[in-house]
Amino acid sequence: MSLLDHTHNPEAQSFVASANLAGTDFPLQNLPYGLFRRAGSNESARVGIAIGDQILDLRLAASAGRWSSAVQVLLQPLADGDLNSFMAQSASKRRLVRHALFDALAEGSKQQSALTACLLPQAQAQMAVPCRIGDYTDFYTGIHHATTVGKLFRPDNPLLPNYKWVPIGYHGRSSSIGVSGSTVRRPLGQLMPPGAEVPVRAACKRLDHELELGLFVAGGNALGEPIPMADADEHMFGVTLLNDWSARDMQGWEYQPLGPFLAKNFATTISPWIVSMDALEPFRIAFAHPASDPQPLPYLDSDKNRSEGGYEIELEVWLQTETMRAAGEPATRLMRSNFKHAYWTLAQMLTHHASNGCNLQPGDLLGTGTQSGPEASEGGSMLELSLGGKQSLGLPNGETRAFLADGDCVSLRAFASKDGARRIGFGECSATIVPAPQV
């Protein structure tokens, strides 16, 4: 816990009153980054910091605030709306900006008057994908998800032999990543109906969500130069919520032998805020594979990873159907799990990705794979909760779901909390399903 500092003090308060409320996702101890513009405006997008129910506009703050020369230089790419350039800075420089923003937004700050004029209510902002995502890779680190899904298709051998040796992943599609608040169009695809001998092209009938976290890469590595575990933290910028939408009927037909393709690349939704790794420092936990399992190969192992490589983050999925919305009824929670159950850590995912010399770049996104818990009620997808569609979930208004229907709004939520630390959240990752295009 050597990186814990005054920005993690749970008693620290902000002059932004809403940041001091018990249930806020964005207290002074969080300070996540996002990209926004004023709703209804044509202004260029700018980087902001979430603080309570407000956004600190870093374009305005860079010029209105009083900063050291070193911080002023680091704020410039943020003022220009270029989060990727800031991501490329060293972890120590990124931490310097966090300290400056924390001090400037703290209760009693001499910058209160100047920075109050730089605040915008989040309700008046239009959020965007927070940075340029050059590449997107999705991992499969949720062992409870992998086991449950494996049992549906391979009852006698749910986990393939390599799962406990190597972080499994596949290359996704960055161009179809959207931000929370958008819609997801039900995809068309090639399906093999039960009992048929010839596939058909039709709208997906088994549309599903997947509850994941996404890791944004900070400074990258040169082509051919791996990133060792000892340096992994330097290359991790922050974490977001990620919904890896899946067309299960398309997936079942196409995934062999090369894995996911059209069943996955039609949409991925992320939350608008990136919670920095510094903000997550208090929520590190020890990590280990069960003693009876294979232990990580040396390139995926380190003392630090074993002592504090994991993170304890509560994860939830909420659903509001079109009927619920029309009746003014709130969303209902489908499940809750925790990232502590992941079989591989964020550092291991990043290190493995670069271990063959693959060059990661600032803004690249690594999905964790579906994060389910050990109990049946903790499934991070409808595929698990409905046992492959064999049993429907009952909703409070009497509706049922085995998979998702048009008009359904799926919301992912997450927060980290522990005794002696201020609770921080990730905001919502929400999207509403709209009908497929006409064939």
Q: Which domains does the chain have, with CATH numbers?
A: 6-128 (2.30.30.230), 136-434 (3.90.850.10)
Known catalytic residue at 8: no
Q: Which residues contact 79 (CB under 8 A, 6 or more apart)?
A: 46, 47, 58, 59, 61, 62, 63
Of the candidates 255, 259, 165, 244, the one whose C-alpha atom is nearest the C-alpha of residue 208 is 244
Confidence at residue 176, expressed as pLDDT on a 0 to 100 scale = 98
**Residue entry with tokens 């489908």:** 334
60 phi/psi in degrees, rounded to 5:
-75, -40
Tokens of 116: 């109050």
Structure tokens at 250: 């398309």
pLDDT at 152: 84
Q: Residue type for 5, please?
A: D
C-alpha angle with apex 421: 419 to 426, nearest 5 degrees? Answer: 115
Contact 169, 212 (CB under 8 A): no
Preceding amide of 437 cis, omega within 30: no
Angle separating helix axes 69-79 and 91-105, nearest 10 degrees: 90
Per-residue pLDDT at 6: 97
Q: Residue 327: its pLDDT value, please?
A: 98
Annotated catalytic residue: which of 145, 209, 235, 352?
Answer: 145
Q: Side chain identity at 231, as an amino acid letter?
A: D
Could you tell me the CA-to-CA distances from 32 to 273, 368, 374 in Å, in that order? 6, 19, 30
* Exposed/middle/buried for residue 198 (C-beta within 10 Å: 0-12, 13-18, 19+): exposed
Residue 95: its H or E element: helix 91-105
- What pLDDT was estimated at residue 256? 85
Identify whether the C-beta of residue 51 lies closer than 8 Å to the C-beta of residue 19: yes
| pLDDT at residue number 150 | 87
Residue type, 337: S
Each residue of 315-368: pLDDT tens digit? 999 999 999 999 999 999 999 999 999 999 999 999 999 999 999 999 999 999
pLDDT given for residue 45 in this prediction? 94
Read off the pTM. 0.97
- Give the separation between CA 171 and CA 174, rounded to whole angstroms: 9
Segments of 299-394 assigned E as strands:
310-311, 314-320, 332-338, 365-367, 393-394
Q: What per-residue confidence (pLDDT) applies to 154?
A: 81
Q: What Cα–Cα distance (Å) separates residue 197 from each residue in 194, 200, 328, 344, 439?
A: 9, 10, 45, 40, 21
Mean pLDDT, consecutive 10-residue stretches, the chain (439 aa), reads: 89 98 97 97 95 98 96 97 98 98 98 98 98 97 93 83 95 97 97 93 97 97 98 98 97 89 97 98 98 97 97 98 98 98 98 98 98 96 96 97 98 97 98 93
